[in-house]
Amino acid sequence: MTIKQEHMMDHIRELLSSLLLLEVTDPALKGVTITEVVLDRELEYANIYVNALGNDARQAEVMKGLKRANGFLRRELGKRLRLRRVPALVFHWDVTLARGDAMEAKL
């Protein structure tokens, strides 16, 4: 992974987090956390992992809300990033918190 990719991943995560916190008004997206952003080598696709503060019951609601807000989020990223093309945003539900809780329960 190049330094540019790492820098852009951090920058995209920060921007999306602030957009979700301050500018998105969809009630389905309240309390959503960006846990990780992974960019491909060409910076064309951004895989964004999200979670709703450990509330797995909201997964379907949150993913539908992110699908509705995808255009807005991509447009706002385009205004703030210095890239020729804004990467396509692909949202995924992050299951690492649930896996960690399951491991802890087993221990």
pTM to 2 decimal places: 0.86
pLDDT digits (tens, 9 = 90+) for 17-49: 999 999 999 999 999 999 999 999 988 999 999
- For residue 35, give both structure tokens: 């846990």
Task: Determine contact, residues 72/28, Cβ cutoff 8 Å.
Answer: no
pLDDT band at 53 (very low <50, low <70, confident <90, very high): confident
Identify the burial level of 13 via C-beta atoms within 10 angstroms of its C-beta, where 0-12 means exposed, 13-18 middle and 19 or more buried.
Answer: middle
Question: Coil, helix or strand for 103?
Answer: helix
